[in-house]
Amino acid sequence: KNQQNKMANNSNNNDFIGGAIQGFLTVAIPGALKTPFTVTATLFQIGYDPANPKQHFETPSTARRGLRPSVLRMGRDMVRRHGWSSLAYASPAVVTESVISHAVKTSLHGALANSFPKPQQRKDESPVALETRRILHEITVESIELCTAAVISLPFRVLSVRIIAQLAGGEEIYNPYSLMGLKTIFEQEGLAAVFSGIVPDVVEQIALVVSTSILRRCVQHYLMPYLMPPPVEDDSVERHEQLSTFVAYNLTQEFASPFYYPFRLIRTNVIVAESPLSYGAPPFSKGLVTTLDWYKYLRTLPNHRGIFRGSGYLTTRIFG
């Protein structure tokens, strides 16, 4: 019996290690591949102008030129100025953030599923009331998961944003291929700087959960039956369901982006504005402090330079 228990424990340990390695690879590899998009999107968000690095693209002279930056032009500019390695800037911080966020969400998902089981239909309860309770349950559970993961992984997001912002300003304060920049931020500016942008980050996660929870049901019930009718052959049902889920997810993210993306943009600007980098000082920084002040300011600019800059299809899909 002792030998059987020992073999069972060894099997569980092997399963745990195998699952951990598999989870790490499935998150770390996409995290590394999305780094170039993270670099270009962050440069968009802080207002970097490829045509004139010393000038913010919100300025009137740039606006008169009708500048509308593109992901390809931004990437091409970074390669010409800083080499191909610039597209891998902050890759350790980006990958670490992805891995930690995924690990926290995965751990909480099982615990919350046991603590907060999915609502079941009560006696004489209408379908509308049941669906409402399920939406509220989903919003509550996913908000706890995403907000907790966002707060725990936020220091690595702060580091990656500052590393990319220093690339735009031509500075070398933080090592782009190391995580030791967190130590520098903590020693020079304190714990508050390590968690800068926490308010818009949490608001973004809540806005993301609320908007996607509601829109996903609308897409699945009203849009998908017209876009992808049920298959005729029985052997293609599973494939149809997988494809329908994929299409519905991407449509939901696209429709929900106007609700949560502005807070992602504000978080990036708050992180840079509170840093010692050149993009954290005038004329790049606007001296704004609160999330509401940033939102009001960005709303005054045209969409591609204001509240939705950097929210192109590729970057939205990658980050979503």
> 212: which residues sit within 8 A by CB, 6+ positions away?
252, 253, 256
Residue linked to tokens 């690595």: 156
- Tokens found for residue 244: 């329908």
Average pLDDT over residues 110-127: 81
Nearest to 111 by CA among 149, 85, 65: 149
Q: Considering only 135-144, 161-170, 245-254, which range has the smallest mean pLDDT?
A: 245-254
> 244: which residues sit within 8 A by CB, 6+ positions away?
224, 228
pLDDT for 102 beyond 50: yes
Average pLDDT over residues 276-287: 78
Reported as a pLDDT band with limits 50, 70 and 90, residue 59 is: very low
The structure's pTM equals: 0.80
Chain centroid, CA 205 distance in Å: 9
Identify the pLDDT of residue 10: 52
Average pLDDT over residues 279-297: 80
pLDDT for 298 beyond 50: yes
- 3-state SS class at 303: coil
Residue linked to tokens 């609308």: 218
Residue 166 CA to residue 36 CA, distance in Å, equals: 16
- Tokens found for residue 257: 């982006």
Q: What is the mean pLDDT of the chain?
A: 78
- 3-state SS class at 106: helix
Torsion of CA 289, 168, 318, 203, to 10 degrees: 0
Residue 310 CA to residue 303 CA, distance in Å, equals: 10
> 23: which residues sit within 8 A by CB, 6+ positions away?
102, 103, 106
pLDDT for 202 beyond 90: yes
